[in-house]
Amino acid sequence: MSRIGKLPVAIPAGVKVTVLPDQVTVEGPKGKLAEAYNNLVKIEVKDNNVLVTPANESKNANAAHGLYRNLIHNMVVGVTTGYTKTLIINGVGFRAEVQGKLLVMNLGYSTDFISTIPEGLTVTADAQGKVVISGIKKQQVGEFASQIRKLRKPEPYKGKGIRYETETIRRKVGKSGVK
């Protein structure tokens, strides 16, 4: 059995969890999320906790046990506090700005990169090169942040590019001068 799957998911005040035969719905102050699940697990709500148990002792049921428990936990956290990822844009002339539902970035190429902000996410960009992506779906926030970072990965010599705020770039020493 999964060690993570055994842990109950606590339901905070103001959050409502509904379990249907093939779907779990979590509703809270920041919004509403729904996730489909298969018949390998049984999900039930008891005493302000969500309990996930495997339906049988198969390998697939044990694998799905921890997965669905974590997905439900992420949904509960998303509708209560939400998720944010912060990106730092570093480089001479590199900048980002939000224009309506578009994120426009100048990353040192001849043309600007224009990304459409997905529905359900909010993006803010300031003049110091900090882009904050926030939303209630953890997977959606992480995926969009990853797509933005892929546009110009940080390079190890000068540190130019887009990096996560918590990421540290191992810097390399450049070539030494001639004798």
Residue 134: exposed, middle, or buried by beta-carbon count in 10 A (0-12, 13-18, 19+)?
A: middle
Q: Residue 63: its pLDDT value, please?
A: 87
Q: Residue 10: its pLDDT value, please?
A: 93
Instruction: Answer yes or no: are the C-beta atoms of 109 and 124 closer than 8 Å.
Output: no
Token look-up 């010599």 returns 157
What is the arrangement of strands in the sheet containing 49-54, beginning at the earlier edge strand?
Answer: 9-10, 49-54, 41-46
Q: Residue 4: its pLDDT value, please?
A: 83
Q: Residue 177: its pLDDT value, please?
A: 66
d(CA 107, CA 92): 9
Q: Residue 120: its pLDDT value, please?
A: 92
Instruction: Answer yes or no: are the C-beta atoms of 33 and 75 closer than 8 Å.
Output: yes
Q: Which residues neighbour 112 within 8 Å (Cβ) at sequence distance 6 or greater?
A: 104, 105, 106
Considering only CA atoms, which of 78, 75, 83, 82 is closest in space to residue 17? 75
Q: Any bridge partners for residue 161, and if so which?
A: 90
- Between the alpha carbon of residue 86 and those of residues 95, 165, 176, the distances in Å are 15, 5, 35
Instruction: Say what the pTM is.
Output: 0.89
- Please, what are the domains in the chain? 3-80 (3.90.930.12), 83-164 (3.90.930.12)
- Going from the first residue of the chain to its last (179 residues), give the mean pLDDT of each consecutive group of 10, the final group possibly shorter: 83 93 93 92 92 90 91 95 95 92 93 94 93 96 96 92 92 77
Q: Residue 178: its pLDDT value, please?
A: 64
Name residue 120's amino acid: G
